[in-house]
Structure 1
Amino acid sequence: METFFSLDYLISLFARYGYGVIGVVVMLESMGLPLPAESLLITGALFCATTHQLQIEGVIIAGVTGAVMGDNLGYLIGHALGLKLLGKYGPKFGLTPQRLLLGRYVFLKHGGPVVFLGRFIAVLRMFVALLAGANRMPWHSFLFYNALGGLFWAGGYAFCAYMLGSQIIRLSGWFALAFGAIAVVLILTALVFFKRNEKRLTEEAMKAAEHDERLKVLHP
């Protein structure tokens, strides 16, 4: 059975729906749904480099637009529901008490910049807009950091993946294999780095919650 993660299925989605599938999936993930937006964005860029059936400019525009729209909708949802309802219904959408605590801790500690940096960390990317709205972050500040983060995340990932795909195609033999191996090692290193930092931040948040009433997960 085809899954959303299979390469053949992704290629069929690009061929059928073009840039729309990228924009919609990025938007839904930014609203808090557990979807592989980052993988889709990178795969879309590689699809451009290898098939030329899509333009990288369109992928970047779709990704940035989906990110900004999704985060703003997530902000409105968080603003309307508040922390108590997020604590009650969040686990149904992957926002576990630990993730809620982590997001609130990082958000209250660093403010606006976490909206920008959260775009690059999977566990925060899905929920930072909800937390910004629930914590009543001023919308104009949220919009600035949100748009900046969406531009660098979608634009940077898509462009780098596109250039990587283009270079591998131009190379041949052992050079292509070596180039690809180095790229894989760098990507895996980045993933391990972010994963370890997520774990460290979660532990910090749990310790801080023992002394800061603002960080205690709210239950109805």
Structure 2
Amino acid sequence: MSIISFLQTIPPLAVYLVIGLLVAIESVGVPVPGETALITGAVMSTHAALHVSAVWVFVAAFSGAVLGDSFGYSVGRRYGPALLVRLGRRFPRHVSADRVAYAEYLFEHYGMGTVFVGRFIALLRMLAGPLAGMLHLTYPRFLLANASGAACWAGIITVGIHLLGTAAESWFAGGAWVLLLVLLVVGLVGGRVLARTFDHRVEAYARERLAAGEIPTAE
């Protein structure tokens, strides 16, 4: 059962808890569909019969993001590179050495900006907390960037989808579900484009490191 189907079968309180939990787990560094859960919850909020509140969907996603990132920050600060090594072994496709190296580069050069913008990019959304802690970004600065990024991310998605879904529902029956499919497709395509762009930059950064002798060449 997909997360979309699952959320439609549980009561509103459970919907909020699942959204918050998935967003929090994703923010710690585990690749789970946190953003998909948020999008689904926002679309469900356009159906009055489901009794799902857009406000509580936002609160759940925002709280999950802040708490999850804060936990990831604490773990990263305590365990440092060992945490990333473990994540890389467990999720080699998502947390490769080259991706981590490029994310570290972004943090070292842009700090709080990377935490804020990273909330909108899948890989950085996963690594922001652990990397910020590992690189000793001060917690007050991290919290400010984390909370503001989470508020913008959750707010834009929830409010935007709720308004569009409500309008679609007034135009034709079941419009919000059609909107959900459209938004999921757009989200997947947009996410793929961002992922490819990020991977191209990761590859370019890896080539630069290799040329500079920072990465040992294979014998």
TM-score by length of 2: 0.83
CA distance in 2, matches of 1:137, 1:6: 34
**Which shifted more, 109-118 or 36-45?**
109-118
CA distance in 1, matches of 2:177, 2:132: 43
Aligned residue runs from structure 1 range 23-34, under 5 A: 23-34=20-31
2:123 matched to 1:126? no
CA distance in 1, matches of 2:87, 2:56: 33
Higher relative contact order (CA 8 A, sep 6+): 1
* Distance of aligned partners of 1:172 and 1:143 in 2 relative to their CA distance in 1, 3 Å threshold: same
CA distance in 2, matches of 1:34, 1:189: 18
CA distance in 1, matches of 2:84, 2:5: 38
Q: Which residue of 1 aligns with 2:87?
A: 90
2:144 matched to 1:135? no
* Distance of aligned partners of 1:45 and 1:92 in 2 relative to their CA distance in 1, 3 Å threshold: same
Q: Which residue of 1 aligns with 2:34?
A: 37
**Which shifted more, 27-36 or 90-99?**
90-99
CA distance in 2, matches of 1:177, 1:130: 36
Aligned residue type for 1:69: L
Post-superposition shift, 1:163? 1.6
CA distance in 2, matches of 1:126, 1:13: 26
Aligned residue type for 2:38: L
On the 8 A contact 2:24/2:69 being kept in 1, the answer is yes
CA distance in 2, matches of 1:181, 1:13: 20
CA distance in 2, matches of 1:177, 1:65: 26
Q: CA RMSD in A?
A: 2.8
Report the secondary structure of 1:159's partner residue. Answer: helix
Pairs aligned (count): 210
Q: Which residue of 2 aligns with 1:18?
A: 15
Aligned residue type for 2:54: I
CA distance in 1, matches of 2:182, 2:23: 28
2:72 matched to 1:74? yes
* Distance of aligned partners of 1:208 and 1:137 in 2 relative to their CA distance in 1, 3 Å threshold: farther
On the 8 A contact 1:32/1:93 being kept in 2, the answer is no
On the 8 A contact 1:29/1:37 being kept in 2, the answer is yes
Superposed CA deviations along residues 117-163 of structure 1, whole A, max 9, x for unmatched, are 00000011111111111111111111110001000011111111212
Gap runs ≥5 in structure 1: none
* Distance of aligned partners of 1:92 and 1:163 in 2 relative to their CA distance in 1, 3 Å threshold: farther
Post-superposition shift, 1:100? 1.3
Report the secondary structure of 1:127's partner residue. Answer: helix
